[in-house]
Amino acid sequence: MSDTKTTSKPWEHAKSSGSETDPLAARFVSSIDYDWRLYKQDIRGSIAHATMLEQVGLITAGDLEAIEAGLRAIESEIDERGRGWPGFTYELEDIHMCVEAALIERVGEPGRKLHTGRSRNDQVALDLMLWVRDAIEERVTPLLDALTDGLVALAERDGAIVMPSYTHLQRAQPIVVGGELFAWHEAFVRAGQRVAQVGVDMYHSPLGSGAVAGTSLPLNRDMTAEALDFPLNASSSIDATANRDAAVDFVYALSMTAMTLSRWAEQWIIYASTEFGFIKLDDAYTTGSSMMPQKQNPDMLELIRGKCGAVYGSLVALLTTLKGLPIAYNRDLQEDKKHVFRAFDDVCDCLEMAAKIVAGTTFQKERIASTLDRGYLDATSLADYLVTKGVPFRTAHQVVGRLVQVSEERGLGALGKLSLEQFRAESELVEADVFDWLGAENVVKRYQSDGNAGLSGFVSLLEWVRSEGAAEGEALEWDDMVSGLRNLADQMEAEHASKPKGAD
Ligand code: ARG
């Protein structure tokens, strides 16, 4: 077996003593507490690398077999033990060294060949990209899908209830509950597309970039890129090991998701208040007060609103870590994963919680209806009515303003309570059909512009998301976009290949 292993760190032989001489230094420099979460991606990358090493003749078929079997065994052990796997030690610093050391321990000499033509610098850049891609596919996207499905289900139950809309948090125009639920649906669908796009945008495999300058060994980078599903190789070994763009894009996309969650949570906190009483939350998602016996606080919603702060914090922390770094790898980059994981964990928790809250919420039809007369929600509809009679909109606006005043002066409180004579005193064009344009219930039936928040807009959105065809159409559009991007990548690759040799 090996005759070169002199310290616990196989790469520390150049110095007479390594950081293991000071336990604080060993712990300080270590990232295993958090980067152990990369183990699956690390092992996948290593198997692709070893497979390529065998193909180009740098290791034997027997070496590859031993390496692959060893790595798979290590993976199942970590699957079982998680952070408690005994191979995770501070002395070995990080996931890459812990796995490699365990491999050498297990299979001996072939394990010592795995790191041929590779550095932890290209290895960690790769692992993080693979992890982000998996996180998107396996967690964030399904959770966002579950939330948007939940909003649709709630819209199917309560969507036709008439409610006021608010701008400036002041009563604006009547809408239906479904109209507002589809606003959130739209925002979360967009958040999902933004997140998914981060995965699509990862074109360039960093593997084969080595520590900074590449390698003089005959690696076949195309082979590893293809095995790991990258359309291209990174064209600068320095940039490939220096950049964390994918991580920043991911945390930005998570921040936008957290921001949307936070706005939604705030809206529902307001709706759940005694003053509004528009929604009733499931008791499972409220908590009592330790002092006030009557309280039912929307703590889960408040925490969704609040956790957004830490997600933004992760984005700013990551960007700030990157700021001012000299080009190529610097150890500062090790901190990146903390921020990525933290943002991911918080957003996933919030998405999971949000879907449950949505499933347990009911809109309070009677309570909402009892308030619809307030705030002249139908004033804009009345102005539209006058427009249909030939009144210029600006004039109609003034006429309605006066009618609101009349209603207030007479203490009526609603335009629908004015008499036809009172209307005609302000505009002779008003006829008895004006009453069909007044009252929230009537108004929500009249909207006809595409995407309106009234009944027709809500119903057509519901039909659209329900219909198989729409779902397919949407998937198709998305697939088209992805394959378009892939084509673009192929084109770039062709151009790249025609560049003079050594250009990458
Ligand atoms: N744990 C390190 C990180 O996450 C791996 C790269 C270390 N490279 C090095 N040359 N020290 O960034």
**CB count in 10 Å sphere of residue 26:** 19
pLDDT of residue 499 exceeding 60: no
132 and 95 in a common domain: no
Question: Does the residue 297 lie in any domain?
Answer: yes
Closest CA to 242 of 200, 199, 213: 213
pLDDT recorded at residue 332 = 98
Angstrom distance (rounded) from CA 101 to CA 121: 17
Q: What phi and psi values does residue 248 have, to the nearest 5 degrees?
A: -65, -45
Q: What mean pLDDT do residues 267-274 have?
A: 97
49 is catalytic: no
How far is C-alpha 475 from the geometric centre of its chain's CA atoms? 18
pLDDT of residue 396 exceeding 50: yes
Residue 490 banded pLDDT, cuts 50, 70, 90: confident
Closest CA to 154 of 119, 114, 188, 203: 188
Angstrom distance (rounded) from CA 82 to CA 36: 8
pLDDT-wise least confident of 9-13, 253-257, 285-289, 436-440: 9-13
Is the whole-model pTM more than 0.85?
yes
124 and 245 in a common domain: yes
219 and 197 in a common domain: yes
Is the CB of 124 inside a 6 Å radius of any atom of ligand 1? yes
Percent of the chain with pLDDT over 70: 90
Say how many Å lie between the CA of residue 121 and the centre of ligand 1.
6
351 and 383 in a common domain: no
pLDDT of residue 358 exceeding 80: yes
The larger pLDDT score, comparing residue 196 to residue 495, is at: 196
Q: What mean pLDDT do residues 91-117 have?
A: 98
Q: What is the CATH number of the domain that holds 301?
A: 1.20.200.10
pLDDT-wise least confident of 10-19, 106-115, 215-224: 10-19
Contact 49, 35 (CB under 8 A): no
170 and 30 in a common domain: no
324 and 232 in a common domain: yes
Q: What is the CATH number of the domain that holds 384?
A: 1.10.40.30
Q: Which of 2, 289, 460, 467 is catalytic?
A: 289
Question: Does the residue 219 lie in any domain?
Answer: yes
Contact 188, 144 (CB under 8 A): yes
Percent of the chain with pLDDT over 90: 85
Determine which residue's CA is closest to atom 11 belonging to ligand 1.
Answer: 331
Question: Does the residue 10 lie in any domain?
Answer: no
pLDDT recorded at residue 491 = 80
102 and 85 in a common domain: yes
**Residue at 455: amino acid letter:** L
Closest CA to 238 of 367, 330, 307: 330
Say how many Å lie between the CA of residue 14 and the centre of ligand 1.
17
Q: Which of 168, 216, 449, 498 is catalytic?
A: 168
Say how many Å lie between the CA of residue 119 and the centre of ligand 1.
9
Closest CA to 208 of 121, 131, 118, 112: 118
Q: What mean pLDDT do residues 256-270 have?
A: 98
pLDDT of residue 164 exceeding 80: yes
pLDDT of residue 208 exceeding 50: yes
325 and 233 in a common domain: yes
Provide the domain count of the chain.
3
Is the CB of 260 inside a 6 Å radius of any atom of ligand 1? no
Q: Dihedral through CA 214, CA 215, CA 219, CA 222, nearest 10? A: 10
Is the CB of 31 inside a 6 Å radius of any atom of ligand 1? yes
Q: What mean pLDDT do residues 444-456 have?
A: 97
Residue 19 banded pLDDT, cuts 50, 70, 90: low
pLDDT recorded at residue 292 = 80
pLDDT recorded at residue 501 = 44
pLDDT recorded at residue 6 = 36
Exposure pattern of 152-176 as b/e (b: 16+ CB <10 Å)?
bebbeebbbbbbbbeeeeebbbbbb
Please give the mean pLDDT across all residues of the chain: 92
pLDDT of residue 221 exceeding 80: yes
Angstrom distance (rounded) from CA 170 to CA 347: 30
List, in order, residues 6 or more apart from 62 with CB less than 8 Å away: 110
300 and 257 in a common domain: yes
**Which among 112, 146, 161 is the end of a domain?**
112
Q: What is the CATH number of the domain that holds 53?
A: 1.10.275.10
168 is catalytic: yes
pLDDT recorded at residue 495 = 74
Residue 467 banded pLDDT, cuts 50, 70, 90: confident
**Which among 438, 455, 480 is the end of a domain?**
438
Say how many Å lie between the CA of residue 280 and the centre of ligand 1.
50
Q: What mean pLDDT do residues 153-176 have?
A: 97
**CB count in 10 Å sphere of residue 469:** 9
Q: What is the largest CA-CA distance in the chain?
A: 106
Residue range of the domain that includes 79? 19-112
Question: Does the residue 8 lie in any domain?
Answer: no
Question: Does the residue 269 lie in any domain?
Answer: yes
Ligand 1 atom, smallest distance to 94 CA: 1
Q: Which two tokens stand for residue 61?
A: 């078929």
